[in-house]
Amino acid sequence: MKKIIALAFGFIALVSGCNNSSKVSGNAAAGTDTLQYPEEIHFKNIQQLTFGGDNAEAYWSYDGKMLVFQRTHVKDGVPCDQIFIGKVPRKKGEKFEYKMVSSGKGRTTCAFFTKDNKHIIYASTHLGGAECPPVPDRSKYGNKYIWPLYASYDIFMSGLNGKIVKQLTHSKGYDAEATLSPDGKKMIYTSTKDGDIELYIMDLETGKERRITNMLGYDGGAWFSPDGTKLIWRASRPKTETEIKEYKDLLAENLVAPTNMEVWVANADGSNARQVTSYGQANWAPAYMPDSKRIIFASNHEYKRGFPFNLYTINEDGSNLQKISRDKGFDAFPMFSPDGNKIVFCSNRNNGGTRDTNVFIADWME
């Protein structure tokens, strides 16, 4: 899921002509470098947890004491995404200490704590090889921004010591983007096993599962609502002959172009699926807020150039859109703490004019 960060920079590169510049960022362009913008009235006591590299998809443990996230930092010997965990600082000035819990082999993504707070689930390509899998050559596709759907991704359960205790998926296709239900019993994830990019729900105890989406297009990044009664995810829906052909041609090569996505919701069993946003461009990384009624998501819909990405809230009927964050480059991956008092998100802010994406937490103010 973190690959959307590159989408933001892809648009920046097109605008600036600096494809290979490590100094390109929205903040640098705006001449700002700050932890918090004046308009961000819902954030209080914001704290930066990581410093340097690409850090994203930071998600709370069920007890709210830890975070799990994925990290790339070549200088630290992490050439492509690996999974890290750390205890959330409880005192002002306390440092966020973290450690890698994935094997360091292959590429990993989309980690989530289990209900016992003693294990995590995440997707990894390590069974397909120890090296980082190659990234697509965009020049073959007209320099269109595309994601690879590595067929070697499967989902695993690991202890916090890094030892894998169970392999949860075994399909030949892409299996990733997993999160768990509030009771910890069900896993929702994305797979290409049936020929399209669909959502599946698995009972973790029995391994039994069912497919819950059936429309052509990418369905991914799904979450249960805090009360467990609903689902929310991002989806593309190619409609014209040209869009459908392009989608299918890319999918045949285990690729997808994620530049047009909208937020969808449904009942917890997948019934009554409906589209919430219709803004165009990339509306994604959605999650229900603590009340299980309102939604928070990331979007670049205000900007034809494709960036910034900022956080927005909206009612599930599509009303009352409010802009929450204001970074000039990238804000995304919001998740509320289990008690609803704090929010974690990832951002390009305060990165010294680099492309670094870091993890931030803040008290949430209504």
Distances (CA, A) of 6 to 16, 152, 333: 15, 21, 14
Assess contact for 332 and 349: CB atoms under 8 A: no
pLDDT of residue 24: 29
Lowest mean pLDDT among 19-28, 55-64, 205-214, 252-261: 19-28
Helix (H, G, I), strand (E, B) or coil at 365: coil
> 21 pLDDT band (50/70/90 cuts)?
very low
186-191/198-203 β-pairing: antiparallel
DSSP-assigned letter for residue 134:
P
**CATH number where 295 lies:** 2.120.10.30
Element (H, E) at 9: helix 4-16
At position 239, the amino acid (one-letter code) is K
Predicted pLDDT of residue 154: 98
> For residue 185, what are the contacts with CB-CB under 8 A and spacing of at least 6?
115, 203, 204, 205
Structural domain total, the chain:
1
Please report the sign of the dihedral spanned by the C-alpha atoms of residue 131, residue 129, residue 61, residue 6.
Answer: positive
Check if the beta carbon of residue 193 is closer than 8 Å to that of residue 145. no
Contact 264, 217 (CB under 8 A): no
Rounded CA-CA distance 70/54 in Å is 8
Judge whether residue 4 has pLDDT over 90.
no
pLDDT in tens, 320-355: 999 999 999 999 999 999 999 999 999 999 999 999
Summarised one tens digit per residue, pLDDT across range 98-149 is 999 999 999 999 999 999 999 999 999 999 999 999 999 999 988 888 999 9
Range of the domain at 88: 4-364
| CB distance 15 to 8 below 8 Å | no
pLDDT per residue over 45-70, tens digit each? 999 999 999 999 999 999 999 999 99
In this structure, what are the phi and psi dihedrals at residue 291, rounded to the nearest 5 degrees? -80, -5
